[in-house]
Structure 1
């Protein structure tokens, strides 16, 4: 069985909801990340066997958004493209699916990742399909309905995460502290140029003409504990999750170029990382916040590693409560987790985040001279995915 390596990776900056990328389609963001990954690897697009990109909010985006992104990126008509929807884990699932294709011998090089334009999601009037006879019609916000609301309990993901926070004894103060940590670390990473290493600039329409967006819009230098403490809980008046300790809705894309080691050696493409293994789990719908920890446990058991063997963790901050709950479940060294901030600061374009955390993990391990890292993410419907990578020094 072959071995999968990652030979290229890039992402766009993550734009705030209704801000810099408001008029940019998801497929255009995806194309920018794809081109960045190809250029970084120095690989021609015609060597690809396929393109797999995650995207959750596909309503109104047209047929197969990944196919569109591939074409905008200049990829030939003859190279197939698939769009994956595993909610927030979509971008990671694209990578692990490619790993399975490569290990089985079905492919040698696959472009993977995820993309999302949360600003561009339409509203719908479901009852209009067969005619509105009398009275009012309900507008459905498809961003919330298809991306942020539990399809089983019909509540926002915040409600489920808040209940898990109470169950595991995660306080409002702890969540606000983690949120502040996320912003401070992200701002420091921006100042040091760390995040710029991941980002390809994108030109977007602006009020006064085209603008180049090359910096994440979410991180705030003016965030402090007092401001976070003043915010009221959302969706649950007795809860602990606020707009300050949850990520913003965002626009962005990330891409990872996966290949067999034999292909990389044959073509002279230097591996950035090796995929050691991955795992996926599921639990009852309300348990979404615990699934990254469950996936990490399964992955460690599957690969034979111990928690202390892992040098860095990237856990998607679907809410600040998520890494805090995972910490209570796993008893990890918090100093190894999200060292450059996370989604609370950077934003969470849901189809892209699973790929973004892998890219960020690889970049930081490389800066530290190599090592082992795990990226993990929860997703709607209470599933969790994790991937274990090795970066050589």
Structure 2
């Protein structure tokens, strides 16, 4: 009974934890760059496939992760032994993903002397991996680290988010992602992966997966309206900068209802939100999403070329959220 009372107190906002988040100066307020600054120098990912029937349905998670690790080392001309640490965000892998991640490390010819850890903070696991590596660099434990995220597997009534509004947001996400894909905006971040698939008759063939499989360019409002709601008819489950200072907001679209509420509540200009589409179109592999958002954000800021700020954010299971601000120095 006490367990129920405690949980209910948190849900009602009556539980006094003795601590609350406090506003703090954002690093953007510091006037000059510092030798202690942590810099993201590169990022790659695989395409996001369809579960159970896509190009990666017969590919193991360690093979996918290894393809990305290898590509990053090759692109940056880094020797594997130069890495000081590896952190992999994951959610659904058995054994906290440690065995899978370590095998991926070995498949990438990264020696066992390079330490590796895994982290699970639900939907923000990939972003948490980035934060963990940044913390290690900042405190002087090492100079170079690799942050990864992997998953191989995806509020409305209270706040008045209608089904129609959710469908409109989902349609916009699909349209933005389709335009970005047709323009080749994801090519710089996706590592082509050659793998094998087996059809229903057991025949094996080799394919190379080069693009996200969840994007549906032909999506329409009429088609979305025909989809069965994920929840009951009457509802759904669910730093010193101003909005004007931020060029891009990468908000995870765990659900259309949650994303719509965030955009409206914060007063974000729609054109700044997920300009290349979001998880509704691309997919939401839990352990990967945070890292994927960082890569997509930084690549888009690089394409635009000017000095700018970007925000990555996501909701997290059990009533939490996470966000990070990134500064792009300009070309």
TM-score interval, normalised by the smaller of the two chains: 0.7 to 0.9
2:166 aligned with 1:229, yes or no? no
8 Å contact from structure 2 (residues 57, 197) kept in 1:
no
> For each residue in 1:103-142, what CA deviation from the matched residue of structure 2 results, as whole angstroms up to 9, or x when unmatched?
1111211100201111xxxxxxxxxxxxxxxxxxxxxxxx
Aligned to 1:136: none
- Is the contact made by 1:2 and 1:105 (CA closer than 8 Å) also made in structure 2? no
Q: What secondary structure is seen at the aligned counterpart in 1 of 2:41? A: strand
Is the Cα contact below 8 Å between 2:249 and 2:274 reproduced in 1? yes
Q: What TM-score comes out, normalization by structure 1 length? A: 0.70
Contact 1:307 1:332 in 2 (8 A): yes
Q: Residue 392 of structure 1 corresponds to which residue in structure 2?
A: 329
2:112 is aligned with 1:77: yes
In 1: Cα distance, 2:122 partner to 2:184 partner: 30
Inter-partner Cα distance in structure 1 for 2:232 and 2:85:
43
Contact 2:96-2:120 at 8 Å conserved across structures: no
TM-score (normalised: structure 2): 0.83
The runs of at least 4 aligned residues of structure 1 exceeding 4 Å deviation read 60-63
SS, match of residue 127 in structure 2:
helix
Q: Which has the higher contact order (CA 8 A, sep 6+)?
A: 1
Unpaired segments ≥5 residues, structure 2: 1-34, 199-203
Tell me the secondary structure at the aligned position of residue 215 of structure 2.
coil
CA displacement 1:203-228 (0-9 Å, x = unmatched): 12123411000110000122100010
Change (3 A) 1:52 1:60: closer
Q: Does 1:58 align with 2:93?
A: yes
* Alignment of structure 1 residues 176-187 onto 2, 5 Å: 176-187=167-178
Q: 1:343 aligns with which of 254, 279, 282?
A: 279
The 2-side partners of 1:25 and 1:385 are apart by: 29
Structure 1 Cα separation of the partners of residues 219 and 205 of structure 2:
30
Aligned Cα RMSD in Å?
1.7
* Aligned position for 1:356: 292
C-alpha distance in structure 1 between counterparts of 2:270 and 2:324, whole Å: 19
Q: Matched residue of 1:350: which SS?
A: coil
User: Do the aligned residues in 1 keep the contact of 2:98 with 2:118 (CA within 8 Å)?
Assistant: no
The structure richer in strand per residue is: 1
Counterpart check, 1:6 vs 2:51: no
- The alignment covers a number of residue pairs equal to 289
User: Would the alpha carbon gap of residues 226 and 6 (structure 1) be closer, same or farther in structure 2, given more than 3 Å must change?
Assistant: same
How far does the alpha carbon of each residue in 1:55-92 deviate from its partner, in whole angstroms, 9 at most, with x for none? 11112787532212211111111001111111111000
What corresponds to 2:256 in structure 1? Answer: 320
